[in-house]
Structure 1
Amino acid sequence: MVSVPSPTPGEHSVTVTEVTEPPLRPPLPVKMVIAGGFGVGKTTTVGSISEIAPLTTEAAITEVAAGVDDLTHTPHKTTTTVAMDFGTITIDPTLKLYLFGTPGQDRFGFMWDDLVEGAVGALVIVDTRRLDDCYAAVDYFEHKGIPFTVAVNTFDGRMDHQLDEVRWALDVADPVPVIAFDARERGSVRDALLVVLELALARAES
């Protein structure tokens, strides 16, 4: 508050109240999971959208691991996530997503419960060339009751099956969105995450 003297003697001083903007609140942190089978594009998805250098726990694929993990459709893959991927993206001034990517191999499945704790929803990434690898992730989130979206990663810009065929093959309920996206494209990843977010908000309001 500032007091300004009157220019004429004997007159009362004029009081001026400074108007200040209320301090901006930090964006609300929201946890979201990026899940799916081995080599479907989870690490790429997090890396494409994260506004920070993503935290990854990549390890080299050894000859022993190559004998366990199917590299038929990912022959050039040399590393694999052994714990999690982590990144962040600010959706708007009120909302910030914290992205946790799960490991894809069955032998690391014990980590999933900890990674999904507190998540509002999940993006389950699918490779249509090997749909069998996706059943476990779909079943997991259905069992947990966590809202999820099935996202078909368009490797090389193509899909081996149409979206309605993917829905039928995975036997997901009608309310579960099944979409196509490109894990390499920031805008495409953003749109996929927004589908999950809208689904989670609708579930919270129902």
Structure 2
Amino acid sequence: MDFKSSDTLTNGAITGPSERDVLPDTAAAAVKVVIVGGFGVGKTTMVGSVSEIRPLTTEETMTQAGIGVDDNYGSETKTATTVAMDFGRISISEELVLYLFGTPGQERFWFLWNGLFEGALGAVVLIDTRRLEVSFDVIGRLEERGVPFIIAVNDFPDAPRHPVDALRTALDLDSHVPIVHCDARRRISSKDTLMTLMRYLHALAAARA
């Protein structure tokens, strides 16, 4: 695959990575963040919209082999799915860089999650209010691993709207876990979501200190 982070040939000469793909010299800290959620909630879209480098994706065409195995309710028009991970990068400041790892959403690929959760400072749980039930296992796995997370409601046009308190009750969340609304297609909205996670992680660290 020809990603921007790979060396490329121009008239027979290796040009190397583009300038924007090189990690800034001012970067002092890099943090791993996972974007997690059920199938079709927008994880690949979020990583792609916010990444400052061309994201690495592992999407494969969906086939009839998945019929009866994969739950694609609400995503019936989806033709590809992540089978390993998505990867992107965003600089929050001159010193802080986030490495973003999007997890596969189909349950048969969840065995990959443990490796993706390893070393993660925090997580964004993307949810689709049309299918809240698929978020229960996602949240449970994060809690088992002790990975702090926030909830981001990806506002699909035909999805029902619920008050934050009702969502908190339905998802059985502690009162301190942030819940935000986002549009995973928009860079500014996705970045705002990540900033909410960073502020939450900072508050948790301050509380421990």
Q: TM-score, normalised by structure 1?
A: 0.85
SS of residue paired to 1:155: coil
**Residues 36 and 125 in structure 1, CA contact (< 8 A), matched pair in contact too:** yes
Deviation at 1:65, TM superposition (A): 1.0
Which segments of structure 1 move beyond 4 Å, counting only runs of 4 or more? none
Question: Offset at 1:55?
Answer: 0.4
What is the percent sequence identity of the aligned residues? 50
**Residue by residue, what CA displacement relative to the aligned partner does 1:103-159 show, whole Å, maximum 9, x if unpaired?**
111111111111011111000000000111110111111122211001110012754
Could you say what the CA RMSD is over the residues aligned between the two structures, in angstroms?
Answer: 1.4
Distance of 2:72 and 2:135 partners within structure 1? 15
Alignment of 1:1-206 (within 5 A): 25-156=26-157, 159-205=160-206, 206=208
Q: Is the 2:129–2:160 contact (alpha carbons within 8 Å) kept by the matching residues of 1?
A: yes
Bigger proportion of residues as strand: 1
Q: Secondary structure at the match of 2:87?
A: strand
Amino acid at match of 2:54: A
Q: Work out the CA distance in 2 between the residues paired with 1:185 and 1:152.
A: 14
Aligned length: 183
Distance in 2 (alpha carbons) for counterparts of 1:181 and 1:131: 16
Quote the offset at 1:163 in angstroms: 2.1
Instruction: Give the deviation of 1:71 after TM superposition.
Output: 2.2
Amino acid at match of 1:154: D
What CA distance in whole angstroms lies between the structure 1 residues aligned with 2:92 and 2:27?
Answer: 12
Tell me the amino acid that sits aligned with residue 77 of structure 1: K
Residues 192 and 157 of structure 1: is their aligned pair in 2 closer, same or farther, counting only changes over 3 Å? farther
3-state DSSP of counterpart to 1:152: strand
Segment of structure 1 superposing worse, 184-193 or 63-72: 63-72
Q: Distance in 2 between matches of 1:185 and 1:94?
A: 24
Contact 1:163–1:180 (Cα < 8 Å) also in 2: no
Letter in 2 for 1:133: V
Q: Which runs of 5+ in 1 are unaligned?
A: 1-23
What is the deviation of 1:69? 1.5
More moved, 163-172 vs 96-105? 163-172
Match of 2:6 in 1: none
SS of the equivalent of 2:98 reads strand
Deviations 1:9-34 (A, max 9, x none): xxxxxxxxxxxxxxx64341111000
Q: Provide the rounded CA distance (Å) in 2 between the counterparts of 1:111 and 1:204.
A: 28
The TM-score, its normalising length taken from structure 2, stands at 0.84
1:77-125 deviation per Cα after TM superposition (whole angstroms, max 9, x unaligned)? 0000000000000011010000000111111111111101111100000
1-structure distance, mates of 2:199, 2:192? 11
Say which is worse superposed, 183-192 or 158-167, in terms of deviation: 158-167
Q: Cα–Cα, structure 1 residues 163 and 157, in superposed 2: closer, same or farther, change >3 Å?
A: farther
